[in-house]
Amino acid sequence: MSKNSTDTELASTTLKMLMGAGEFIALKARYPDGRDFGLHIEDLAYSVDKRLSLRCLLPLPGIHRDRDGTLFRSNDSTDMELHELQQSLRLLEDAGWHIRLIPDKPSVSSLSVDDEGVIYYEYLNDKPGPFFSAQPRDINHYVQQFEHHWEHSFDISAIENLYEQVKPFALAQQATQIAVVSFEAWTKLIAEFSKKPEILQELPPRKFEELIAELLSRDGLEVHLTPQTRDGGRDILAFQNSIVGKHLYLVECKRHNLGNPVGVSIVQRLYGVITQERATAGLIVTTSRFTKDALSFAETVQHQIGLKDYEVLKQWLKTYLPK
């Protein structure tokens, strides 16, 4: 099927859903011009009944949010993008939509209508979409995801203040990649850690994350360190291409002392993030051990959570020693 045919079918499906809505429409867009769903923004704005609950989330170009909630402004937005957003806001408001703004372009965009259906994209996948589902489970998932973003969004009246007050920060300056250390230097460090694994207990948490990112990279994954925060969480995003698609693994690093085991709450929290973001699986690596409850919970979701404790980590390091 040609791209034009696909676009036409998508536009037709979107219009049928909008015009057949009886209760609510929840729209979360990656692009403010309507292209996610095959329509122009004017069509999205006016193909609806104003008496319905109409809510829309649009991205703020160039505004990003760190894991601890801190906002920063990068230099990757253009005046054209901001003008496009403001134009969409005016059109949607005139058509009776309640609009709020979210930092970053979402990794998932969705259009949920009543309990009848949802059109969605998942941009981390090799084939991001569009996909349509009338399954209650899928509809509920994307509605809940929308509600979560709605709770953490901004009123459109704040747009000017956000751009004036948020501290500029070049996206390229963030520690989103592995620290610039040569392959040879890492090989020497890994050899040293393997001989004296107790040194791992003295590493700063961020350096420990960099080490794990290097090991994952040597295992063939594409890795990205997330910005440093106070609350922990998914420290590394690890991507893997395979014959069935591109997989995303969320990795959490816990540089704990041996007497401070990783508890079940940390494992459960990561599992919740994996479920919410529909990642392939997760991994927790620690310089300590895991409690019995943590191990028991991981066993119940064994295909979605992996645990590497101090003993396993030592063996992992040894696999990269010079032969």
| Per-residue pLDDT tens digits for 91-142 | 999 999 999 999 888 888 999 999 999 999 988 666 888 999 999 999 999 9
- Which has the closest alpha carbon to 10: 94, 96, 129? 129
Task: Report pLDDT digits (tens) over 213-266.
Answer: 999 988 888 888 876 554 445 789 998 887 777 889 999 999 998 889 999 999
Is the pLDDT reported for residue 1 higher than 70? no
The whole-model pTM stands at 0.54
Mean pLDDT of 27-39: 89
Regarding predicted confidence, which is higher, 199 or 111? 111
Looking at the chain, which residues constitute the CATH 3.40.1350.10 domain(s)?
Answer: 183-318
CATH number of the domain located at residue range(s) 3-170 in this protein: 3.30.870.10
- What's the CATH number for 183-318? 3.40.1350.10
**Contact at 8 Å (CB) between 167 and 73?**
yes
Bridge partners of 53, per DSSP, are: 24
Closest CA to 115 of 133, 139, 137: 139
Examine residue 168 and say whether the peptide bond preceding it is cis (omega within 30 degrees of 0).
no
The rounded distance, in Å, linking the Cα atoms of 318 and 259 is: 24
Mean per-residue pLDDT, 173-181: 42
Residues 6+ apart with CB under 8 A from 11: 37, 38, 39, 43
Q: What is the dihedral of CA 220, 226, 228, 230, to 10 degrees?
A: -110
Residues of the chain with CATH 3.30.870.10: 3-170
